[in-house]
Every structure is written in C-alpha cells, then in structure tokens.
C-alpha cells in the first residue's frame, strides 16, 4: 500500500499494475492518492474525501486474510506557507473528528496515517533548527488532535531527532 502526494491531477491514469483505492486532486496542484499493486487482494470497504485535494480516508480489507484497517492519506497544504498549513490542520481535525464520530457507531480503532504532512511534531526536528518556536500553538494543537483521533504515534519514536531516523545538513546559511 502506498500514499502518493502531489499528484497534480483530478484523475490518475488507469493502470494494469496499480489499483487506486481512493484519490482526491485539484487541477494542477495538490492531490493525494492511496494505491496498491493490482491483483494484490485489497478491496475498499469505505472511502471518503476528508479535505478535497489534501486528505482522504480508506477502510481497506484483504480478501484472503480478511485483515482490515483504516488509512489516512495526507498532503499538508503549504500553498500560502504556515498560515495555509494551520488552516488545513484545523479543517482536517474538525472533519476527521466528525468522521470518527460517525464511524464509532460501528467500530473505530484508529488509523494508519501517511503522506507528506509538511510538518513535524518536535521542534528540534524542524528547519531552521535555531527557531524551535516557529510552529504556532494552533498548528501544533490541530496536529496533535489529528494524531489523537487516529490513535497514531510517531514511528520514529517518542523523542525528537531519534538516532538513524533524522537528517541534518550544515550549509553556509545555517
């Protein structure tokens, strides 16, 4: 399973090798899709566009193992910098909360969340690193709300800059 971001299209081309489980795109910008290898046995039980062009949800099930789970595909909106990212996360948080409330009637155990978030949780992992306060409280709050709604944790660990997972580079400008 793969989450593809920045598709820059409203419709991905049909392929014999790839099955698109769900997608949402805006012409010439943004876009997110959740895809699997064609014939791999995955089927969609439910799909929904959470934020058009930027966030989609799929409940996928495997035909053979009957394993099923929710996956949230995200492409963080940075079209107007941090202000659009904050607006995006607040919109995502509100719409995801309503979505989870509807799903809780049957069963909600959380989701896997993947994509290009255009934001990292820990200040030490952000760039530039000499300004740890660059994330507004509204942005961090909405990001944490999304994590809580999905029941997600950072796969790199609970601390900033985990060994072997982080990258940094010194340049003439910092």
State mean pLDDT over 155-167.
62
Tokens 């919109």 belong to residue? 91
List, edge to edge, every strand of the sheet that includes 18-26.
Answer: 2-5, 29-37, 18-26
CA-CA distance, 47 to 155, in Å (whole number)? 24
Q: What pLDDT, on a 0 to 100 scale, did the predictor assign at position 148?
A: 93
Instruction: Say if pTM beats, i.e. exceeds, 0.95.
Output: no
pLDDT tens digits, 77-112: 999 988 899 999 999 999 999 999 998 877 888 999
DSSP 174: -
pLDDT digits (tens, 9 = 90+) for 121-159: 777 666 555 555 566 788 889 999 999 999 987 776 666
Identify the structural domains of the chain with CATH numbers, from first to last: 2-121+128-150 (3.60.10.10)
Q: 57 with 70: CB under 8 angstroms?
A: yes
Integer Cα distance of 125 and 157 in angstroms: 12
In degrees, rounded to 5, the angle at the alpha carbon of residue 82 between the alpha carbons of residues 89 and 4 is 60
For residue 31, give the H/E element and its range. Answer: strand 29-37
């Amino acid at each position: 399973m793969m989450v593809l971001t920045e598709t820059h299209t409203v419709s991905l081309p049909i392929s014999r090798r790839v099955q698109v489980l769900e997608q949402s795109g805006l012409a010439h910008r943004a876009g997110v899709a959740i895809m699997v290898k064609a014939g791999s046995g995955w089927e969609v039980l439910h799909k929904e566009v959470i934020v058009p062009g930027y966030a989609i949800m799929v409940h996928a099930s495997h035909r053979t193992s009957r394993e099923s789970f929710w996956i949230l595909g995200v492409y963080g909106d940075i079209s107007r910098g941090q202000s659009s990212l904050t607006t995006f996360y607040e919109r995502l948080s509100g719409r995801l909360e309503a979505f989870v409330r509807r799903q809780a009637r049957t069963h909600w155990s959380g989701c896997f969340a993947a994509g290009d978030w255009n934001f990292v949780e820990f200040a030490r992992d952000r760039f530039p690193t000499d300004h740890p306060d660059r994330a507004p409280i509204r942005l961090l709050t909405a990001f944490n709300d999304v994590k809580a709604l999905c029941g997600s944790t950072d796969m790199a660990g609970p601390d900033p800059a985990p060994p072997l997972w982080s990258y940094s580079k010194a340049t003439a400008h910092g």
